[in-house]
Amino acid sequence: MAKPDVNKKQSAPAAPASRRKRVLTGKKKAPSKLYRSFVRFFQLVVGAFILLVAWIIFIQWKVQIGVQQPLPNQVDVGIVLGASLRQDTPSPGLQERLDLAIDLYKQGRFKHVIVSGGLDHNGSKLTEAEGMRNYLVAKGVPEKQILLEPRATSTYENLLFSKQIMQENGLVSSIIVTHRYHSARSLDIAETIGLQQPVVSSIRSEVLFMPYHDTRETLAYTKWYGTKLLLKLGIPVSEAAFSHFGW
């Protein structure tokens, strides 16, 4: 009887057919459904973040550049957009807008002034419009030339209600007076509500904390674009929707 050859290596057991097939074809195991879902979610998050950054850059470009328009020699009325009062006196930022309006009035750019702004919820007893009127009168603007719009709580309402006052008084052309960072959105709103060839005169603030106001304007502009889309689609939008945060 022949003895087994101990020096001869025994052959390994054959690999399963499925494994041999993967080795031969070079294919790897497909990623799990959970992994694929995670990758899709991550791609969506990255895409949304890129869009958000692009949107912020676009809005800040508009905010920082502002509106650059030549001013007409004379229009019917100047519209001063309101801001907060402090103890019934215009805040330093609002005084900047009013001082610009006074300068334009003295140049003869307009004979009438609409001061627009409702009641602040900061303890003021006067509306923004009343506080603005008092400031203008103290600076030499005749009270009879000042028209009050004392209801508005947002930029949209500032311009919408001011337009109604213009129509009631036979006034057509206007210069909107505000800050530079606020000028682009103000002009867009004025054009959307149908003011006739509106023009904006603006001033860069020396007293406001601009990082806060630039950020706030980005949020306000985003909200306005959404509302503008609804208006163009003919979807009614409550005026109260514009009043949150005074936007």
The 10s digit of each residue's pLDDT in 83-96 is 999 989 999 999 99
Which of 227, 226, 222, 225 shows the shortest CA–CA distance to 238? 227
Q: Which of 23-27, 155-159, 242-246 has the lowest mean pLDDT?
A: 242-246
Answer for the pair 243, 152: CB distance below 8 angstroms, yes or no.
no
Which of 77, 168, 87, 161 shows the shortest CA–CA distance to 118? 161
pLDDT given for residue 239 in this prediction: 52
Q: How confident is the model at residue 21 (pLDDT cuts 50, 70, 90)?
A: low
Tokens of 176: 């909107």
Q: How confident is the model at residue 244 (pLDDT cuts 50, 70, 90)?
A: very low
First to last CA, the chain: 104
Per CATH, the architecture of 77-204+212-227 is what? 3-Layer(aba) Sandwich (3.40)
Q: DSSP secondary structure string, 9-74? A: PPPPPPPPHHHHHHHHHTPPPPPPHHHHHHHHHHHHHHHHHHHHHHHHHHHHHHHHH----PPPS-
Report the C-alpha gap between 201 and 196 in whole angstroms: 16
Answer for the pair 179, 210: CB distance below 8 angstroms, yes or no.
no
pLDDT digit string (tens) for 201-242? 999 999 999 999 999 999 999 999 888 888 888 887 665 455
Strands 85-86, 89-90: pairing kind: antiparallel
The pTM score is 0.79
Per domain, the residue ranges of the chain are 77-204+212-227
Extract the runs of DSSP E, i.e. beta strands, from the chain. Answer: 77-81, 85-86, 89-90, 112-116, 146-149, 174-179, 199-203
List beta partners, residue 78: 113, 175
pLDDT given for residue 199 in this prediction: 96
High-pLDDT (> 70) share of the chain, %: 84
Residues 122-137 have a mean pLDDT of 94
Residues 110-116 have a mean pLDDT of 97
Residues 32-44 have a mean pLDDT of 86
Q: Which of 29-33, 93-97, 185-189 has the lowest mean pLDDT?
A: 29-33
Report the C-alpha gap between 54 and 76 in whole angstroms: 39
